Amino acid sequence: MGASTSHKNRRILVTGANGQLGKAIQAEAIGMDGISFIYTDYDQLDITQKDSIAAAINAFKPELIVNCAAYTAVDKAEDETELAFHLNAYAPGLLAELCKERDVKLIHISTDYVFDGASNQPYTETDRVNPLSVYGQSKQKGEELVMAAGNAMVIRTSWLYSAFGNNFLKTMIRYGSERSEIRVVFDQTGTPTLANDLAKVLLQIAKFTHIYFVPGIYHYSNQGVCSWYDFAYEIVSSLNLKARVIPITTNDYPAKAKRPQYSVLNKQKISNLLGVDIPHWRKSLMECIEQLQSTINP
């Protein structure tokens, strides 16, 4: 369990900290004054185990827990329903109950896949949820249990990518360099989100909980709209990779889990709360590509 060494009063604990969002939080929190961070993954704090959660709360007395732990294998979840619900629903529910009992604030992350995609207008927080996949259903149940326990902000996000872990950006860079063509669906529309941008928002809330910690459901993604095809096209063309990007339909590329055709999120509520300008996905993509290039060619 990694905690910063200084003895500051305010303590924030991050679960699932070795995942993509957890790593983005670690990167963005560097140099942040006035807060001690405790970064845990499941071998230090297993969110499915009551004793493990209780021990961590007792040891570190965090003011806030940011739950980045999850089961995120969308297609695999179709065959691992029990495990997906265990991690994405019952464990966050348990975490939320313990947080409530011990007066610890909780931020829990959810997904655009709680929607069925039948809309053609950006989804607001009060729109009806109707997940199409086991992953989406497990995340939706998680939201419900976390909200029922109280004292929590649930932030739904979409299409996360970053310089960390495996994600669509990295896959497209690899395929774009190795293959002559890449076929990508153009009939699923949403918004890519740089995990670092979401991390900055989480850190703003963490830094000023007395102002910005307001329980409820929120949406956060980058600004703008595109299909997976457009996202891939932008990646391949901005890096001058050799592959040709070919648009295909979801029917041409059957996946185990059904995804929403349209899952753009309306971000007005969080932007009003935090007073932030949300970056456009293209701008954030360029930043992330530059970051990746500077690590390859420092």
Ligand X SMILES: NC(=O)c1ccc[n+]([C@@H]2O[C@H](COP(=O)([O-])OP(=O)(O)OC[C@H]3O[C@@H](n4cnc5c(N)ncnc54)[C@H](OP(=O)(O)O)[C@@H]3O)[C@@H](O)[C@H]2O)c1
Which residues form the catalytic set? 135
Shortest spacing between CB 146 and ligand X, in angstroms: 11
Span interacting with ligand X, options 10-18, 30-38, 174-182, 243-251, rule CB under 6 A: 10-18
Q: Is 222 among the residues that bind ligand X (CB under 6 A)?
A: no
Match 């140099």 to its residue by tokens: 31
Q: ∠ CA 115-211-63 to the nearest 5 degrees?
A: 85
**Binding to ligand X in span 117-146, by CB under 6 A:** 139
Cα angle 161, 167, 173 (rounded to 5 degrees) comes to 100
Residues 20-79 that bind ligand X (CB under 6 A): 20-21, 41-42, 45-48, 68-70, 72
Residue placing its CB nearer to ligand X in the complex, 195 or 240: 195
Nearest to ligand X of 111, 222 (CB atom): 111
Among 37, 39, 123, 159, binds ligand X (CB under 6 A): 159
CA angle 280, 285, 286 (to 5 degrees): 105
Binding-site member from 15, 151, 196, 263 for ligand X (CB under 6 A) = 15
9 secondary structure, DSSP code: S
User: Can you spell out the DSSP letters for 127-141?
Assistant: SPP---SHHHHHHHH
The CA distance from 159 to 190, in Å, is 8
Q: Which residue type, as a one-letter code, is found at position 151? A: N
The residues that touch ligand X, with contacts defined as CB under 6 A, are 15-16, 18-21, 41-42, 45-48, 68-70, 72, 87, 109, 111, 139, 157-160, 165
